[in-house]
Amino acid sequence: MFSMKTHTISVVLPCYNEAAIIERTILQVINWMKEYNIHGEIIVVDDGSKDGSDKLIDSLHRQLNGKLTILHHAHNKGYGAALRTGCDAAKMDVIAFMDSDGQFNIRELNAMLPLLESIEMVAGIRKERSDNMVRKTNALLWNTLMQWTLRLHAKDIDCGLKIFNRHIWPTIRPVFATGNFFGAELFFRLERNNIPYAQVPVTHYWRRHGKASGARLHVIYRAFKEFSLLLWDIWLSKSSAQPRLRNRTLAHE
């Protein structure tokens, strides 16, 4: 049976123009914590939203009597920057982050959390990606490129549901990634430092509200720019990108 034992957890929710779904996502996390008597915090990072998400989460903060920690970026800095801000602010033993767009269910952590007793991070692998063919194709090409150039063994690098022990955050914290390169740089630093992790299958739901921004040209350009900066840094430091540890892929119990 699922048990948090003595752990506490920080759940980080990056938010950019998610006014139609962010309240539901926040309440889902709150109800999950209540159901399993989990002590922790919920950190919502508004990344310069323009659709009223910022005002909505501020209103929720007041209604919920401070149960939320709300952080605002004055302007849109990118998905990776929002996650860095949230994880930097986390205070609990364990950090989890989940996309706010309703495509993941926080209860997937029930199967992932117990694994942190023996490893440092658990990442999701979408069992069946609920996206259109263009996004699926882009994801396949991006994953293949990252695995080949950075010699990563991780699968589904950009899955938006991950959990890890907070003490490893300074080591795995992406330096260059402010956008969608975040997942690749995170896994690069994880494998480069020989930190054990696992990946487990999770359900990916159709996006019913809002629009995904990952396929926009400026987002793609930013990812490749940050990727180039990491490659340049590797070359300058004469470091080896060869990871020493393959990940384990575990099925749900």
pLDDT at 234: 85
Condensed to tens digits (0 to 9), the pLDDT of residues 233-243 reads: 887 776 444 44
- Dist CA 185 CA 102 (whole Å): 24
- Dist CA 17 CA 241 (whole Å): 36
- Tell me which of 18-22, 150-154, 157-161, 212-216 is least confident: 212-216
Q: Which of 167, 176, 174 is nearest to 195 (CA)?
A: 167
- Dist CA 202 CA 115 (whole Å): 15
The superfamily in CATH containing domain 9-249 is Spore Coat Polysaccharide Biosynthesis Protein SpsA; Chain A (3.90.550.10)
Residues for the chain: how many in total?
253
**Would the pLDDT of 217 be above 50?**
yes
**Would the pLDDT of 70 be above 50?**
yes
pLDDT at 249: 44
More confident residue, 209 or 41: 41
**Would the pLDDT of 143 be above 50?**
yes
Phi and psi torsions of 61, nearest 5° = -60, -45
Domain regions of the chain by residue span: 9-249
Q: Identify the band that residue 228 occupies on the pLDDT scale cut at 50, 70 and 90.
A: very high
> Helix count (H) and strand count (E) of the chain?
8, 8
Mean pLDDT of 151-156: 93
**Would the pLDDT of 176 be above 90?**
yes
Q: Do 109 and 96 touch, CB atoms closer than 8 A?
A: yes
- Dist CA 108 CA 94 (whole Å): 15
Residues 145, 181, 91, 19, Cα dihedral to 10°: -120
**Structure tokens given for 251:** 């099925």
- Dist CA 28 CA 194 (whole Å): 34
- Dist CA 183 CA 98 (whole Å): 12
